[in-house]
Structure 1
Amino acid sequence: MFEDRPDRQEVVLVGRSNVGKSTLMRELTGHSKFTTGKKPGVTRKPNHYDWAPESFMFTDLPGFGFMSGVEESRSEQIATDIVRYVEANADDILAGVLVVDGKSVVDIIDRHSGPDEIPHDVELFHFLRELEIPTVVAVNKMDKVDDEDERLDDLCDRLGLLPPWRQWQDTIAPISAKRGNVEPLLSALKTHFHDQKRDDLLKFVS
């Protein structure tokens, strides 16, 4: 289980390894301390970036799923720790941001869909919503996607949201963190902060 969590409300970033969570974290906080790299699984424990006066933090949780060079038992333990962390702190999570790779997420979901298998991304999306955590899917790397509307409609379909995706702009946020294009995510977070009477945090997503 992850230890040493500061006593704050938070926005958590969750997702598979190598989808760009740490790059997004850097973009959201304006801070360069978050390690990024081409090798999956760089983040092995939560990275908190907090503002004590506002009792608020962004948290980048470790990536889940297959990681090159990481034993399967270790990656499964990380996934379990992520679930436990979110469950234990659900009351203090203002929003859960599920980060996915816009270019590959639909294919990955389809590859892992079957009678006895629920894809991790779909499972995590519904897990956050079942805990009544406002959930935003940050669809990253959209600069590499040609058929944006079609791809996002397909993703909505896989997540159980009725397309078209544009009716879900508080839930589906197409971004390109590496290029600094995260406005759709910021807009969704503004809505969720306002709904939870935390307008004092709007300055962090403006």
Structure 2
Amino acid sequence: MEVHEVALTISAVAPKQYPKEDLPEIALAGRSNVGKSSLINTLINRRSYARTSSQPGKTQTLNFYKVESQLYFVDVPGYGFAKVSKKAREEFGQMIETYLSTRRQLHGVIQLVDARHDPSDDDVTMHEWLAYYDIPLLVVATKSDKIARGKWNQSESRIRKGLNMQPDEPYIQFSAETKTGKDAVWQWIEQQAELTGK
């Protein structure tokens, strides 16, 4: 999709604040600092529309980005919050779980993991949780430009094994620097949001 129009319409912490429209929503989930904002900015052709932060865990709300008046990207607070109290962590957890488990407009989740590392315990927990709720899921390995292309297969098999992924589960190598994987991610989004032909 060629994106010309995008707007951050609401930063929500509770269901009553979610957008009232019936547009499909694609959520992006991942560890703090894994590159969610960079993926969003690449997909919408903006440099810094979704704010990237040097402080992991800065996103503390569900941020709804309306794209081309056709769908929403929902930026979910990063998990594994390094500098956040236990109480705040629990509140974030409840907020995320409420959204992911009850939102009828949610058509799929993109789970971001770092291509350079084994999945963290939080990555594994999130993946298991999404699988349990049977939410359509795409795993995107970010920062792929930081590893040699010849090692991508090795990275993929390590991540697939670490997350206990099914053989047919979709997986895309992505780099915000080189834009590798951008079209493939959009293809998955359009399919899940049923935008094909719009």
Provide TM-score, normalisation by structure 2: 0.79
List per-residue Cα deviations over 1:141-196 (Å, max 9, x = no partner): 01112321111101111222356xxx64xx11110124433233223324434xxx
2-structure distance, mates of 1:178, 1:21: 13
Match for residue 35 of structure 2 among 5, 9, 20: 20
Say if 1:81 and 1:137 are closer, same or farther in 2 by CA, change over 3 A: same
2:62 is aligned with 1:30: no
Match for residue 39 of structure 1 among 55, 60, 73: 55
Q: Which amino acid aligns with 2:179?
A: G
Match for residue 75 of structure 1 among 81, 89, 95: 89
Structure 2 counterpart of 1:2: 13
**Which ranges in structure 1 are unaligned for 5 or more consecutive residues?**
110-118, 202-206
Structure 2 counterpart of 1:101: 114
**Which ranges in structure 2 are unaligned for 5 or more consecutive residues?**
1-11
2:129 is aligned with 1:127: yes
Structure 2 counterpart of 1:173: 172
Q: CA deviation at 1:50?
A: 1.0
| Higher strand residue share | 2
Q: CA deviation at 1:92?
A: 1.4
| Higher helix residue share | 1
Q: How many residues align?
A: 179
The answer to whether the 8 Å contact 2:145/2:177 transfers is no
Measured on the aligned residues, the alpha-carbon RMSD in Å equals 2.2
Q: Which amino acid aligns with 2:59?
A: T
Structure 1 counterpart of 2:6: none
Q: Secondary structure at the match of 1:199?
A: coil
Q: CA deviation at 1:53?
A: 4.3
Match for residue 92 of structure 1 among 105, 111, 114: 105
Say if 1:186 and 1:145 are closer, same or farther in 2 by CA, change over 3 A: same
| Runs of 4+ off more than 6 Å | none
Relative contact order higher in (CA < 8 Å, ≥ 6 apart): 2
Provide TM-score, normalisation by structure 1: 0.76
Q: Which amino acid aligns with 1:98?
A: Q
Q: Which amino acid aligns with 2:154?
A: E
The answer to whether the 8 Å contact 2:13/2:62 transfers is yes
Q: Secondary structure at the match of 1:187?
A: helix
Q: Which amino acid aligns with 1:6?
A: P
Identity %: 25
The answer to whether the 8 Å contact 2:26/2:109 transfers is yes
Structure 2 counterpart of 1:158: 162
Q: CA deviation at 1:19?
A: 0.3
